[in-house]
Structures are given as C-alpha cells and as structure tokens.
Amino acid sequence: MTDSMSDEEMIRQYLTSQPNHCFETLYNRYVNKVYRRCLSMTKDPLKAEDFTHDIFLKVFNRLEAFQERSSFSTWLYAISYNYCSDQIRIGKRSNFITTEEELNQNIPEPEETQLHEETMHLINRVLAKLSVKERSLLRLKYEDELSINEIAEIYNLNPSTVKMRLKRSRDKIQKLYAQLYTGA
C-alpha cells in the first residue's frame, strides 16, 4: 500500500503513524539516486556510500522541516548536493593523500589505456577551468539527468536562465577544449 503512495503522503504518514515502514520505502526509492550524486561529486565509492547514509540520517531527522515548496526528490537532492559540497570543501582543508592513492600514482599505465587517459586528462583540465556553478549545472543536467525545470527549482532560477547558463557552459567547454587540444 505505501509503495504506491506519493512522497508527500509518505512523509505525512512517517510523521504521524508508521515511521519505520515509511523511512524504508522512501530510502529504497531514493538511495541509488543519492548515491550516484555523491559518487559523481566524490569519485570515491566508499565516501559516496558514507555520505549517502549521512544524508539520509540528516533528512529523516529533519523531515518535519520539509514544507512541500518543492517535490521531496528535489529537496532531498538539494540536501545531497549541499552536504557533498560541504564535505568536499572540508576535505580540501585537510588536503592529504592516502597510502592507496600514493601507491596508485606510482603504478605505470598500460599502453592501451594511455590515449583514454590523455583524453580524460584534457577533459579534466577543461572542466577545472569552469566555475563551480558551471560544473554543477552540467553535472546536474548530464550526469544526474535532471530536467531544466528540476535544476531551476534547485537553484531558484527561471528555466530560461538555466538553459542559457548550460549553453554558455557548453560553448565555453568547446572553446577551452579546442585551445588545449591544439595547444593554442
């Protein structure tokens, strides 16, 4: 019965009568999406898993703060994005390399992956030249496959503004890639 309920109905039921079952249902609906968001931001499966659990604990401890101004998934996504951003920012302050990362840096790459690695390096250099907001918009659209309207809701922007910012970001990527690729 509760599996077919809307998120908002599920939250109301969670707050009033059946918290355990509602928690489990909402968790199962969104755990993969939150995990993918965390993984796309951290590039570390273990951190992404930890962040996902932390986010759900935070969300369900503050579920009564959900005011239905947006959909639950948008609210959850905004919390996920902000939590990961905060954790990454904190992690940069204590910038250290783990032993595993240090070992991986010293392992030579096989020849068959060298071209792929060079291309990825070039793409990463281009992305590094974008602002955080530009990268975030592009990730929301192309990695997380959110609609223009969902992105607009997260950033509290008009959909036309989101479209224009995405277009400018794509144009900037093309220009930067061409400059780096040709060495100009």
Average pLDDT over residues 12-24: 69
Task: Name the architecture of domain 112-184.
Answer: Orthogonal Bundle (1.10)
- Range picked from 35-39, 110-114, 144-148 for highest mean pLDDT: 35-39
- In the predicted model, is pLDDT for residue 5 greater than 60? yes
Q: Given CA atoms 116, 117, 118, 124 in this order, what sign does their dihedral have?
A: positive
pLDDT digits (tens, 9 = 90+) for 74-117: 888 888 888 888 888 887 765 555 555 555 555 555 554 565 67
Taking the domain 1-96, which CATH number applies? 1.10.1740.10
pLDDT digits (tens, 9 = 90+) for 44-58: 899 999 999 999 888
pLDDT digits (tens, 9 = 90+) for 151-182: 888 888 899 998 999 899 888 888 887 877 67
* Annotated domain spans of the chain: 1-96, 112-184
* Separation of alpha carbons 169 and 4, rounded Å: 39
Place of tokens 């039921």: 13
CB 29, CB 7: distance < 8 Å: yes
CB 13, CB 4: distance < 8 Å: no
CB 123, CB 115: distance < 8 Å: no
The structure's pTM equals 0.51
